[in-house]
Protein backbone atom coordinates (compact mmCIF):
# COMPACT_ATOMS: atom_id res chain seq x y z
CA UNK A 1 0.00 0.00 0.00
CA UNK A 2 2.96 2.31 0.46
CA UNK A 3 3.24 3.21 -3.22
CA UNK A 4 6.06 5.64 -3.71
CA UNK A 5 4.60 8.84 -5.12
CA UNK A 6 6.11 12.27 -5.37
CA UNK A 7 4.53 15.10 -3.42
CA UNK A 8 5.61 17.48 -6.16
CA UNK A 9 2.81 19.72 -7.39
CA UNK A 10 4.58 21.59 -10.19
CA UNK A 11 2.21 22.80 -12.93
CA UNK A 12 1.65 20.21 -15.64
CA UNK A 13 -0.54 19.96 -18.69
CA UNK A 14 -4.09 18.84 -17.98
CA UNK A 15 -5.30 15.58 -19.52
CA UNK A 16 -8.67 15.08 -21.13
CA UNK A 17 -11.05 12.23 -20.43
CA UNK A 18 -10.10 10.56 -23.71
CA UNK A 19 -6.39 10.94 -22.98
CA UNK A 20 -6.79 9.39 -19.53
CA UNK A 21 -8.68 6.44 -20.96
CA UNK A 22 -5.98 5.90 -23.59
CA UNK A 23 -3.18 6.13 -21.03
CA UNK A 24 -4.76 3.62 -18.65
CA UNK A 25 -5.66 1.29 -21.50
CA UNK A 26 -2.05 1.32 -22.64
CA UNK A 27 -0.29 0.79 -19.31
CA UNK A 28 -2.49 -1.49 -17.20
CA UNK A 29 -1.71 -4.80 -19.01
CA UNK A 30 1.70 -5.12 -20.66
CA UNK A 31 1.47 -8.44 -22.44
CA UNK A 32 4.12 -10.94 -23.50
CA UNK A 33 5.58 -14.24 -22.30
CA UNK A 34 5.53 -14.54 -18.48
CA UNK A 35 9.22 -14.12 -17.66
CA UNK A 36 9.44 -12.18 -14.40
CA UNK A 37 8.13 -12.55 -10.88
CA UNK A 38 8.10 -10.35 -7.81
CA UNK A 39 6.95 -10.30 -4.21
CA UNK A 40 6.16 -7.66 -1.60
CA UNK A 41 6.37 -8.81 2.02
CA UNK A 42 5.05 -6.76 4.93
CA UNK A 43 5.94 -7.25 8.59
CA UNK A 44 5.07 -5.90 12.01
CA UNK A 45 8.05 -4.63 13.97
CA UNK A 46 7.96 -5.41 17.69
CA UNK A 47 10.01 -5.87 20.83
CA UNK A 48 12.19 -8.92 20.23
CA UNK A 49 11.49 -10.64 23.55
CA UNK A 50 7.88 -9.51 23.91
CA UNK A 51 6.36 -9.62 20.43
CA UNK A 52 2.96 -8.40 21.62
CA UNK A 53 4.59 -5.02 22.36
CA UNK A 54 5.02 -2.75 19.31
CA UNK A 55 8.24 -0.82 18.97
CA UNK A 56 7.99 2.77 20.29
CA UNK A 57 7.89 5.40 17.50
CA UNK A 58 11.26 6.91 18.42
CA UNK A 59 12.98 3.51 18.15
CA UNK A 60 11.23 2.81 14.86
CA UNK A 61 12.45 6.10 13.43
CA UNK A 62 16.00 5.34 14.47
CA UNK A 63 16.02 1.80 13.16
CA UNK A 64 14.39 2.74 9.83
CA UNK A 65 17.05 5.38 9.33
CA UNK A 66 19.67 2.69 9.89
CA UNK A 67 17.91 0.18 7.63
CA UNK A 68 18.00 2.63 4.73
CA UNK A 69 21.79 2.48 4.81
CA UNK A 70 21.81 -1.25 4.06
CA UNK A 71 22.74 -2.31 0.50
CA UNK A 72 19.42 -4.09 -0.14
CA UNK A 73 18.32 -5.34 -3.53
CA UNK A 74 14.66 -4.93 -2.53
CA UNK A 75 12.99 -1.55 -2.09
CA UNK A 76 12.38 -0.82 1.60
CA UNK A 77 9.34 1.22 2.58
CA UNK A 78 7.25 1.88 5.66
CA UNK A 79 3.48 1.53 5.98
CA UNK A 80 1.29 4.07 7.83
CA UNK A 81 1.28 2.04 11.07
CA UNK A 82 5.02 1.45 11.01
CA UNK A 83 4.89 -1.92 9.22
CA UNK A 84 8.03 -2.66 7.24
CA UNK A 85 7.75 -3.65 3.58
CA UNK A 86 10.32 -5.13 1.24
CA UNK A 87 9.46 -5.10 -2.47
CA UNK A 88 11.64 -7.28 -4.65
CA UNK A 89 13.02 -6.24 -7.98
CA UNK A 90 11.52 -8.19 -10.90
CA UNK A 91 13.21 -11.61 -10.90
CA UNK A 92 13.67 -13.94 -13.83
CA UNK A 93 12.90 -17.06 -11.77
CA UNK A 94 11.26 -18.16 -8.55
CA UNK A 95 14.57 -18.99 -6.90
CA UNK A 96 16.15 -15.69 -7.90
CA UNK A 97 13.24 -13.94 -6.19
CA UNK A 98 13.45 -16.17 -3.11
CA UNK A 99 17.20 -15.77 -2.80
CA UNK A 100 17.21 -12.01 -3.23
CA UNK A 101 14.46 -11.26 -0.72
CA UNK A 102 15.73 -13.84 1.77
CA UNK A 103 19.19 -12.26 1.78
CA UNK A 104 17.66 -8.82 2.32
CA UNK A 105 15.53 -10.11 5.18
CA UNK A 106 18.59 -11.66 6.81
CA UNK A 107 20.30 -8.25 6.77
CA UNK A 108 17.18 -6.50 8.07
CA UNK A 109 16.67 -8.99 10.90
CA UNK A 110 20.30 -8.74 11.96
CA UNK A 111 20.13 -4.96 12.27
CA UNK A 112 16.75 -5.10 14.05
CA UNK A 113 17.99 -7.75 16.47
CA UNK A 114 20.91 -5.54 17.45
CA UNK A 115 18.32 -2.89 18.35
CA UNK A 116 16.25 -5.40 20.37
CA UNK A 117 13.52 -5.58 17.73
CA UNK A 118 12.03 -8.36 15.61
CA UNK A 119 9.61 -9.04 12.75
CA UNK A 120 6.31 -10.92 12.86
CA UNK A 121 4.05 -11.96 9.99
CA UNK A 122 0.33 -11.66 10.74
CA UNK A 123 -2.42 -10.58 8.37
CA UNK A 124 -3.74 -8.36 11.15
CA UNK A 125 -2.04 -7.13 14.30
CA UNK A 126 -3.35 -9.55 16.98
CA UNK A 127 -3.03 -7.46 20.12
CA UNK A 128 -2.96 -3.69 19.68
CA UNK A 129 -5.30 -1.02 18.37
CA UNK A 130 -4.44 0.78 15.11
CA UNK A 131 -1.73 3.38 15.64
CA UNK A 132 -0.48 5.83 13.04
CA UNK A 133 3.29 6.05 12.73
CA UNK A 134 3.67 8.06 9.54
CA UNK A 135 2.37 11.62 9.60
CA UNK A 136 2.40 12.59 5.97
CA UNK A 137 -0.13 14.46 3.80
CA UNK A 138 -0.93 11.27 1.83
CA UNK A 139 -1.87 9.28 4.91
CA UNK A 140 -3.59 12.17 6.67
CA UNK A 141 -5.83 12.53 3.61
CA UNK A 142 -6.32 8.79 3.30
CA UNK A 143 -7.40 8.56 6.92
CA UNK A 144 -9.90 11.41 6.54
CA UNK A 145 -11.32 9.81 3.40
CA UNK A 146 -11.61 6.29 4.78
CA UNK A 147 -13.06 7.44 8.11
CA UNK A 148 -16.19 8.50 6.23
CA UNK A 149 -17.25 4.87 5.77
CA UNK A 150 -16.14 3.35 9.08
CA UNK A 151 -13.16 2.22 11.15
CA UNK A 152 -12.01 -0.47 8.73
CA UNK A 153 -9.81 1.94 6.79
CA UNK A 154 -7.66 2.83 9.79
CA UNK A 155 -7.21 -0.85 10.63
CA UNK A 156 -6.24 -1.58 7.05
CA UNK A 157 -3.68 1.23 7.06
CA UNK A 158 -2.12 0.58 10.44
CA UNK A 159 -2.88 -3.00 11.49
CA UNK A 160 -2.63 -5.17 8.38
CA UNK A 161 0.18 -6.90 6.54
CA UNK A 162 0.34 -9.14 3.49
CA UNK A 163 2.34 -11.17 1.02
CA UNK A 164 1.71 -9.68 -2.41
CA UNK A 165 2.75 -11.71 -5.45
CA UNK A 166 3.46 -9.86 -8.70
CA UNK A 167 3.10 -11.73 -12.00
CA UNK A 168 3.48 -10.75 -15.63
CA UNK A 169 0.13 -10.04 -17.29
CA UNK A 170 0.61 -12.87 -19.78
CA UNK A 171 0.31 -13.30 -23.52
CA UNK A 172 -1.95 -11.12 -25.62
CA UNK A 173 -3.34 -14.26 -27.24
CA UNK A 174 -5.82 -16.65 -25.56
CA UNK A 175 -4.71 -19.79 -23.75
CA UNK A 176 -3.64 -20.89 -20.27
CA UNK A 177 -1.06 -18.06 -20.07
CA UNK A 178 -3.12 -15.45 -21.92
CA UNK A 179 -3.79 -12.19 -20.08
CA UNK A 180 -7.57 -12.62 -20.18
CA UNK A 181 -7.37 -16.10 -18.64
CA UNK A 182 -4.84 -14.98 -16.00
CA UNK A 183 -6.99 -12.00 -15.05
CA UNK A 184 -10.06 -14.20 -14.60
CA UNK A 185 -8.09 -16.92 -12.81
CA UNK A 186 -6.58 -14.47 -10.35
CA UNK A 187 -10.03 -13.39 -9.19
CA UNK A 188 -11.38 -16.94 -8.78
CA UNK A 189 -8.23 -18.61 -7.46
CA UNK A 190 -7.82 -15.59 -5.19
CA UNK A 191 -10.56 -16.92 -2.92
CA UNK A 192 -8.69 -20.23 -2.57
CA UNK A 193 -5.50 -18.35 -1.69
CA UNK A 194 -7.38 -16.27 0.89
CA UNK A 195 -8.72 -19.43 2.52
CA UNK A 196 -5.49 -21.46 2.41
CA UNK A 197 -3.23 -18.68 3.73
CA UNK A 198 -5.63 -16.95 6.13
CA UNK A 199 -3.62 -15.80 9.15
CA UNK A 200 -5.47 -13.03 10.94
CA UNK A 201 -8.20 -14.33 13.28
CA UNK A 202 -7.45 -11.92 16.15
CA UNK A 203 -7.79 -8.23 16.86
CA UNK A 204 -6.96 -6.49 20.14
CA UNK A 205 -6.49 -9.88 21.79
CA UNK A 206 -9.89 -11.26 20.80
CA UNK A 207 -11.15 -13.63 18.14
CA UNK A 208 -12.97 -11.73 15.39
CA UNK A 209 -14.91 -14.64 13.91
CA UNK A 210 -12.88 -14.41 10.68
CA UNK A 211 -9.91 -16.55 9.66
CA UNK A 212 -8.75 -13.52 7.67
CA UNK A 213 -9.71 -10.37 9.53
CA UNK A 214 -7.51 -8.50 7.08
CA UNK A 215 -9.67 -9.62 4.18
CA UNK A 216 -12.84 -8.72 6.08
CA UNK A 217 -11.56 -5.14 6.26
CA UNK A 218 -11.20 -4.94 2.50
CA UNK A 219 -14.69 -6.30 1.96
CA UNK A 220 -16.15 -3.67 4.30
CA UNK A 221 -14.36 -0.68 2.78
CA UNK A 222 -15.35 1.72 0.02
CA UNK A 223 -16.35 -0.58 -2.89
CA UNK A 224 -15.32 1.96 -5.51
CA UNK A 225 -11.77 1.66 -4.25
CA UNK A 226 -11.32 -1.90 -3.01
CA UNK A 227 -13.58 -3.98 -5.28
CA UNK A 228 -12.59 -5.66 -8.51
CA UNK A 229 -14.17 -4.37 -11.71
CA UNK A 230 -16.74 -6.57 -13.49
CA UNK A 231 -15.06 -9.71 -14.82
CA UNK A 232 -16.93 -9.71 -18.13
CA UNK A 233 -15.61 -8.43 -21.42
CA UNK A 234 -12.17 -7.06 -22.11
CA UNK A 235 -10.05 -6.69 -18.93
CA UNK A 236 -8.48 -3.47 -20.16
CA UNK A 237 -11.82 -1.82 -20.85
CA UNK A 238 -13.20 -2.95 -17.48
CA UNK A 239 -10.21 -1.54 -15.64
CA UNK A 240 -10.34 1.75 -17.54
CA UNK A 241 -13.96 2.19 -16.49
CA UNK A 242 -13.09 1.38 -12.87
CA UNK A 243 -10.27 3.94 -12.84
CA UNK A 244 -12.44 6.63 -14.37
CA UNK A 245 -15.47 6.01 -12.14
CA UNK A 246 -13.58 5.48 -8.88
CA UNK A 247 -13.85 8.32 -6.36
CA UNK A 248 -10.90 10.66 -6.02
CA UNK A 249 -9.33 10.11 -2.60
CA UNK A 250 -7.49 13.42 -2.43
CA UNK A 251 -6.14 16.31 -4.44
CA UNK A 252 -2.58 17.22 -3.57
CA UNK A 253 -1.84 20.80 -2.66
CA UNK A 254 1.37 22.76 -2.42
CA UNK A 255 1.08 23.32 1.32
CA UNK A 256 -1.21 22.43 4.17
CA UNK A 257 -3.62 19.47 4.28
CA UNK A 258 -4.52 17.89 0.98
CA UNK A 259 -8.07 18.42 -0.25
CA UNK A 260 -10.36 15.41 0.26
CA UNK A 261 -13.36 15.74 -2.09
CA UNK A 262 -16.70 14.07 -1.47
CA UNK A 263 -18.21 12.05 -4.29
CA UNK A 264 -15.91 13.29 -7.06
CA UNK A 265 -15.02 10.58 -9.58
CA UNK A 266 -11.88 10.84 -11.68
CA UNK A 267 -14.11 11.11 -14.75
CA UNK A 268 -15.91 14.06 -13.19
CA UNK A 269 -12.56 15.65 -12.40
CA UNK A 270 -11.46 15.46 -16.04
CA UNK A 271 -14.68 17.25 -17.01
CA UNK A 272 -14.26 20.01 -14.43
CA UNK A 273 -12.88 23.49 -14.84
CA UNK A 274 -9.61 22.46 -13.16
CA UNK A 275 -8.88 19.04 -14.65
CA UNK A 276 -6.09 16.71 -13.47
CA UNK A 277 -2.74 16.20 -15.15
CA UNK A 278 -0.90 12.96 -15.85
CA UNK A 279 0.82 13.07 -12.47
CA UNK A 280 -2.60 13.25 -10.82
CA UNK A 281 -3.66 10.19 -12.80
CA UNK A 282 -0.58 8.23 -11.74
CA UNK A 283 -1.27 9.18 -8.13
CA UNK A 284 -4.96 8.21 -8.42
CA UNK A 285 -3.94 4.75 -9.61
CA UNK A 286 -1.95 4.21 -6.40
CA UNK A 287 -5.06 4.93 -4.29
CA UNK A 288 -7.06 2.05 -5.78
CA UNK A 289 -6.84 -1.17 -3.77
CA UNK A 290 -8.65 -4.01 -5.58
CA UNK A 291 -7.61 -7.59 -4.74
CA UNK A 292 -5.83 -7.83 -8.10
CA UNK A 293 -4.35 -4.57 -9.31
CA UNK A 294 -3.09 -4.28 -12.90
CA UNK A 295 0.07 -2.18 -12.98
CA UNK A 296 1.44 -3.42 -16.26
CA UNK A 297 1.86 -6.66 -14.35
CA UNK A 298 -0.73 -8.27 -12.04
CA UNK A 299 -0.39 -7.52 -8.33
CA UNK A 300 -2.18 -10.17 -6.22
CA UNK A 301 -2.99 -8.47 -2.92
CA UNK A 302 -5.21 -10.97 -1.08
CA UNK A 303 -2.72 -13.15 0.84
CA UNK A 304 -2.22 -12.57 4.57
CA UNK A 305 1.30 -12.17 5.94
CA UNK A 306 2.55 -15.60 6.99
CA UNK A 307 4.12 -17.00 10.20
CA UNK A 308 7.78 -17.86 10.47
CA UNK A 309 10.86 -16.27 8.97
CA UNK A 310 10.37 -18.02 5.61
CA UNK A 311 6.61 -18.56 5.63
CA UNK A 312 6.16 -16.02 2.82
CA UNK A 313 7.99 -18.33 0.41
CA UNK A 314 5.15 -20.88 0.29
CA UNK A 315 2.43 -18.57 -1.12
CA UNK A 316 4.97 -17.10 -3.52
CA UNK A 317 5.97 -20.54 -4.81
CA UNK A 318 2.42 -21.90 -5.01
CA UNK A 319 1.09 -18.83 -6.80
CA UNK A 320 3.99 -18.71 -9.26
CA UNK A 321 3.53 -22.40 -10.09
CA UNK A 322 -0.23 -22.10 -10.64
CA UNK A 323 0.12 -19.12 -12.96
CA UNK A 324 3.39 -19.57 -14.84
CA UNK A 325 3.41 -23.32 -15.49
CA UNK A 326 0.95 -24.00 -18.36
CA UNK A 327 -0.13 -27.42 -17.09
CA UNK A 328 -0.71 -26.19 -13.54
CA UNK A 329 -2.49 -23.08 -14.81
CA UNK A 330 -4.90 -25.23 -16.81
CA UNK A 331 -5.56 -27.48 -13.79
CA UNK A 332 -6.17 -24.46 -11.57
CA UNK A 333 -8.56 -22.98 -14.13
CA UNK A 334 -10.60 -26.18 -14.35
CA UNK A 335 -10.57 -26.56 -10.58
CA UNK A 336 -11.86 -23.09 -9.69
CA UNK A 337 -14.29 -22.69 -12.59
CA UNK A 338 -17.18 -24.31 -10.65
CA UNK A 339 -16.54 -21.95 -7.73
CA UNK A 340 -17.45 -18.98 -9.92
CA UNK A 341 -21.12 -19.92 -9.56
CA UNK A 342 -20.89 -19.27 -5.82
CA UNK A 343 -19.49 -15.83 -6.39
CA UNK A 344 -22.69 -14.55 -7.94
CA UNK A 345 -22.89 -11.08 -9.46
CA UNK A 346 -20.86 -9.19 -6.86
CA UNK A 347 -17.15 -8.71 -7.57
CA UNK A 348 -14.39 -9.78 -5.18
CA UNK A 349 -13.84 -9.30 -2.31
CA UNK A 350 -17.55 -8.77 -1.49
CA UNK A 351 -19.09 -11.78 -3.14
CA UNK A 352 -20.20 -14.86 -1.24
CA UNK A 353 -17.19 -16.96 -2.28
CA UNK A 354 -14.59 -14.48 -1.05
CA UNK A 355 -16.49 -13.72 2.16
CA UNK A 356 -16.74 -17.44 2.92
CA UNK A 357 -13.02 -17.86 2.24
CA UNK A 358 -12.15 -15.04 4.64
CA UNK A 359 -14.52 -16.20 7.35
CA UNK A 360 -14.25 -20.00 7.19
CA UNK A 361 -10.90 -20.68 5.53
CA UNK A 362 -10.57 -24.27 4.36
CA UNK A 363 -13.32 -25.55 6.65
CA UNK A 364 -15.60 -24.84 3.68
CA UNK A 365 -15.80 -28.17 1.78
CA UNK A 366 -15.66 -26.75 -1.74
CA UNK A 367 -12.78 -24.41 -0.99
CA UNK A 368 -10.97 -27.27 0.71
CA UNK A 369 -11.44 -29.55 -2.30
CA UNK A 370 -10.22 -26.82 -4.66
CA UNK A 371 -7.19 -26.08 -2.47
CA UNK A 372 -6.19 -29.76 -2.37
CA UNK A 373 -6.30 -29.96 -6.16
CA UNK A 374 -4.48 -26.65 -6.69
CA UNK A 375 -1.72 -27.41 -4.21
CA UNK A 376 -1.20 -30.81 -5.83
CA UNK A 377 -0.90 -29.13 -9.23
CA UNK A 378 1.54 -26.59 -7.78
CA UNK A 379 3.64 -29.36 -6.23
CA UNK A 380 3.89 -31.13 -9.59
CA UNK A 381 4.86 -27.87 -11.30
CA UNK A 382 7.49 -26.65 -8.83
CA UNK A 383 10.35 -28.76 -10.26
CA UNK A 384 9.45 -27.53 -13.75
CA UNK A 385 9.81 -23.89 -12.70
CA UNK A 386 13.13 -24.54 -10.97
CA UNK A 387 12.13 -24.74 -7.30
CA UNK A 388 14.78 -26.27 -5.05
CA UNK A 389 14.16 -29.32 -2.90
CA UNK A 390 13.86 -27.10 0.18
CA UNK A 391 11.11 -24.99 -1.38
CA UNK A 392 9.29 -28.10 -2.58
CA UNK A 393 9.57 -29.57 0.92
CA UNK A 394 8.21 -26.36 2.48
CA UNK A 395 5.17 -26.47 0.19
CA UNK A 396 4.69 -30.17 1.00
CA UNK A 397 4.89 -29.47 4.75
CA UNK A 398 2.36 -26.64 4.47
CA UNK A 399 0.08 -28.87 2.41
CA UNK A 400 0.23 -31.67 4.96
CA UNK A 401 -0.13 -29.41 7.99
CA UNK A 402 -2.96 -27.27 6.66
CA UNK A 403 -4.44 -27.93 3.23
CA UNK A 404 -4.85 -31.70 3.51
CA UNK A 405 -6.54 -31.26 6.89
CA UNK A 406 -8.84 -28.41 5.93
CA UNK A 407 -6.89 -25.95 8.08
CA UNK A 408 -5.02 -22.67 7.60
CA UNK A 409 -2.41 -20.80 9.69
CA UNK A 410 -5.21 -18.89 11.44
CA UNK A 411 -6.31 -22.15 13.04
CA UNK A 412 -2.97 -22.42 14.83
CA UNK A 413 -3.45 -18.94 16.25
CA UNK A 414 -6.99 -19.75 17.34
CA UNK A 415 -5.78 -22.95 19.03
CA UNK A 416 -3.06 -21.03 20.80
CA UNK A 417 -5.51 -18.28 21.74
CA UNK A 418 -8.14 -20.61 23.15
CA UNK A 419 -5.66 -22.94 24.82
CA UNK A 420 -3.17 -20.43 26.22
CA UNK A 421 -2.67 -16.77 26.92
CA UNK A 422 -1.73 -15.31 23.52
CA UNK A 423 0.82 -13.11 25.28
CA UNK A 424 2.57 -15.99 27.01
CA UNK A 425 5.04 -17.02 24.34
CA UNK A 426 7.55 -15.63 21.91
CA UNK A 427 7.91 -17.78 18.81
CA UNK A 428 5.06 -18.57 16.50
CA UNK A 429 4.25 -22.32 16.61
CA UNK A 430 5.26 -22.65 12.94
CA UNK A 431 8.78 -21.25 13.21
CA UNK A 432 10.90 -24.20 12.04
CA UNK A 433 14.13 -22.36 11.34
CA UNK A 434 14.53 -24.14 7.98
CA UNK A 435 16.60 -22.35 5.35
CA UNK A 436 14.87 -22.76 1.97
CA UNK A 437 17.21 -20.66 -0.14
CA UNK A 438 19.83 -23.17 -1.26
- What distance in Å separates the CA atoms of residue 155 and residue 81, rounded to the nearest whole number? 9
Report the distance separating Cα 339 and Cα 428, nearest Å: 33
User: Which residues on adjacent β-strands are paired with residue 84?
Assistant: 43, 78
What burial letters (b/e) apply to 218-233, b meaning 16+ CB within 10 Å?
Answer: bbbbbbebbbbbebee
Q: Give the Cα separation of 317 and 314 in Å (integer).
A: 5
d(CA 438, CA 435): 7
Which stretch of DSSP H or E encloses residue 293? strand 292-294
Residue 139, C-beta contacts closer than 8 angstroms, at least 6 positions apart: 80, 132, 157
Per-residue CA distances from 82 to 76, 119, 225, 419 (Å): 12, 12, 23, 30
DSSP assignment of 22-35 equals: HHHHHHSB--S---
Query: For residues 95 and 388, is the Cβ–Cβ distance under 8 A?
Result: yes
- Tell me whether residue 341 is exposed, middle or buried, using C-beta atoms within 10 angstroms of its C-beta: 0 to 12, 13 to 18, 19 or more: exposed
Residue-by-residue pLDDT tens, the chain, 438 positions:
556 444 444 456 899 999 999 999 999 999 999 999 999 999 999 999 999 999 999 999 999 999 999 999 999 999 999 999 999 999 999 999 999 999 999 999 999 999 999 999 999 999 999 999 999 999 999 999 999 999 999 999 999 999 999 999 999 999 999 999 999 999 999 999 999 999 999 999 999 999 999 999 999 998 889 999 999 889 999 999 999 999 999 999 988 899 999 999 999 999 999 999 999 999 999 999 999 999 999 999 999 999 999 999 999 999 999 999 999 999 999 999 999 999 988 999 999 999 999 999 999 999 999 999 999 999 999 999 999 999 999 999 999 999 999 999 999 999 988 764 433 333 333 333 344 444
- 295-305 as b/e: b if 16+ CB within 10 A: eebbbbbbbbb
Amino acid sequence: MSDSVSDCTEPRSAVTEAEVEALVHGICFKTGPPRTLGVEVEWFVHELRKPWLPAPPERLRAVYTALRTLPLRSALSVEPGGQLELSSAPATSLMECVGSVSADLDAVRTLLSEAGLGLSGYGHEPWNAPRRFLREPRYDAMERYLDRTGPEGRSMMCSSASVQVCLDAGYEEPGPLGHGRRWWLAHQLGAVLVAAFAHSPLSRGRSTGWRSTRQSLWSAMDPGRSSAPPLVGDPRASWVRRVMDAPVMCVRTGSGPWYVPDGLSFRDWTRSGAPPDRDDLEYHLTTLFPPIRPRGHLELRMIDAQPGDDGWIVPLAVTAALFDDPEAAETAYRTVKPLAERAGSLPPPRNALWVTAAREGLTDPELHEAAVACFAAAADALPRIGATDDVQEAVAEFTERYVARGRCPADDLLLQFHGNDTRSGGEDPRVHGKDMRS
